Chains A and B, each alone.
Chain A
């Protein structure tokens, strides 16, 4: 094949879907914005050993979104506000319960989210069709409209700005909560601000990926990044980069192979995770090789 032909094939494979179709461009922009917000948030969740809490939170959004759905159908505003309120209530409630009872925070989250997921599915099925239910559970990144795009972009912007503003107390609370408490830093406050960011990002991701897939774009890039980077800033940067790669790769895959885009994006992130697991600096292969080589001091 001549060079021109090869370039043409490459163009058709990688760029044409976005050049030709507006809905693909929109989906791409949505994925990129999500990667910027979810990347750093996911890293902090991993470092706080709260990876599964992110999962639980993403389900906790469902009943709120479902109530919004009952009030106004598949409306962006109502479902987002409902999801936001439900997510914040679960975050606050689990935190308060774990302080007031013997249950650790993750136990409260697990209890909350099982109830929330069941209630949400029930509510949506009650008034909606199976298509609606599929939409709520798995999203449809290809159907993201201007309003949803604005919401996602606004959340990403807020996450980066607020995250930068409270970076020091947030990281300190993560790393050495006892010290922060002793010097009079209000760790609990920053923890709650962070949980609010988690909920916001999940609500944003919910628009594109649905309640079951949203957490994939938050946790998989962050977990993968942990296998490569050893500094906090590089972890976050890498997590964003992995999120972008997964969004782009997943969309290209879903376009050419004709599979649902949400799961394709999450699976692309999963592929990055498996590669990182094998090849990463802290991954299996390197660890294995490192046994035979070491520095003198």
Chain B
């Protein structure tokens, strides 16, 4: 995180030294764009806060371990699609699930949908891409996650066990 700030700061400084006017214009563009999308971000945060209340970590943990593998894969991809977690939370959680015996393929379905499918980010994506394309992209991503999960299962020898 601090790394990102350091790099952004450095680039901004270099830009400022090379051309003051252009840099000020860049900051203006940044502010205008940020202001335009900010209400949509708040909307999304409201969704997230409610969904995370309905599906806390423990619930996710429970649902992914206690079923047949295929139902677990589907459930995991469903949960991954509707929740939004930063990677620094998601991967340690998956590490815990792994030690509790949750198969790799289930975790693969969960992490891939978590990263690629965004039902919660729908309001934002729609602002840029429109409703139709947003839906298509998310459906495609969901299937990619399922394919990845199945192949992960094959490689870890989980699928035929």
Are the chains A and B members of one assembly?
no
Residues of A within 8 A of B (CB): none
Residues of B within 8 A of A (CB): none
